[in-house]
Amino acid sequence: METDLRKIKNIARKKEDQNWEFRTFLKGYSTEDLDLIVHSINDRVLSQIDCKNCGNCCREIYPSFDLQDLQKIAQAMQLSQDQFKDKYLKTDKEPGRFVTKVKPCPFLKNNICTQYENRPKSCQSYPHLDKSDFVFRLIGVISNYEICPIVFNVYEALKKEIKYD
Task: Tell me, rounded to whole angstroms, the distance of Cα 145 from its chain centroid.
Answer: 9
- pLDDT truncated to tens, each residue of the chain (165 aa)? 999 999 999 999 999 999 999 999 999 889 999 999 999 999 999 999 988 888 899 999 999 999 999 999 999 999 999 999 999 999 998 888 999 999 999 999 988 899 999 999 999 999 999 999 999 999 999 999 999 999 999 999 999 999 876
Identify the CA nearest to 119 among candidates 47, 54, 60, 58: 58
* pLDDT the model gives residue 51: 85
* pLDDT the model gives residue 52: 82
Coil, strand or helix at 115: coil
Q: What's the CA gap between 130 and 133, in Å, rounded?
A: 10
3-state helix, strand, coil in the chain (%, to 5): 60, 10, 35
* pLDDT the model gives residue 94: 87
* pLDDT the model gives residue 53: 85
* pLDDT the model gives residue 21: 95
Residues in the chain: 165
Helix 149-161 and helix 5-14, axial crossing angle in degrees, nearest 10: 50
Q: What's the CA gap between 91 and 133, in Å, rounded?
A: 27
Coil, strand or helix at 146: coil
Peptide linkage before 127 cis (omega within 30 of 0) = yes
